Amino acid sequence: MNSKLKVLGSVSPYCKNGNNCPGYLFENGFNKILLDCGPGISSLLNMPEDLNNLTIVISHLHKDHYADLFSLGYASFCYHRLGMLNEKVKVYIPEVLPSEDGYEDYLMIKNLKEQYFDIVTYNEHSKINVDENTCINFLKTQHSLANFSAKIVSFGDTIVYTGDMGFSDIDKFISFSFCASLLISESTYLEKDNVHDPYHLHAKEAARLALLANVDTLMLTHFWPEHNKFEYLEEACSIFSNTIVANEGLMLDMKLLSNSKGGVSK
């Protein structure tokens, strides 16, 4: 099966100059999986086709990663009413307790009106069987609120998405992502930022993860909107050469990606 991944958004915490907040659409020929649903990503979806057989997974409940759920929710409601969407869109959000950060956002999504969603909560131990050949597993990583990295395994391809995370407790993450076909990693900072943030990665840290996990290809994302993406690429490639950057509309053919090993996109 020839699977594909489309970049819908690549910057955070706000959209700028045609760049949307995080969103990555994986398609295996039968089903579609949308990893995060940041502001602006709905503009790059094909409606209503992309709502059919769609599973949405939200890594964590910061608004730059889920805000377009409201647009897609109302779109699903309208298309269902018009008879153009017969099955509910499956939406998986992290389980958040009343005592935890993000609980208000959790309730807001759970109580969303005028939508045609099947909203389900998940945790680190959950496994989503999208179809008989495709599953999603999770790893809880360090962030300012509960974040879950996701691993899609489908027809021999393995895609790992970090969500938002810092460079700590990386042994678990390396094991989780080991030998993945594609690592989609946040890379919020550059060396010139001179920032130490326990909840986000620098480009070089993302590259170190890719090297240690022995992945085929690293795709950098979650860029600061005011920075030039080429600077991220340059820093990461000094450590891990098979690095590309996420650009809105970029379509990755997983079969070609696995065979190329070494291509760099600027």
- Annotated domain spans of the chain: 4-253
Cis ω before 198 (30° cut-off from 0): no
The whole-model pTM stands at 0.95
- For the chain, count helices (H), then strands (E): 6, 14
Tokens 């109302």, residue? 74
In angstroms, the CA 73 to CA 76 distance is 5
Contact 187, 222 (CB under 8 A): yes
Encoded tokens for 118: 């099947």
Contact 197, 232 (CB under 8 A): no
CATH top-level class of 4-253: alpha beta
Tokens 């890594």, residue? 59
In angstroms, the CA 184 to CA 117 distance is 26
What pLDDT tens digit does each residue of the chain (266 aa) get?
789 999 999 999 999 999 999 999 999 988 999 999 999 999 999 999 999 999 999 999 999 999 999 999 999 999 999 999 999 999 999 999 999 999 999 999 999 999 999 999 999 999 999 999 999 999 999 999 999 999 999 999 999 999 999 998 899 999 999 999 999 999 999 999 999 999 999 999 999 999 999 999 999 999 999 999 999 999 999 999 999 999 999 999 998 876 555 433 33
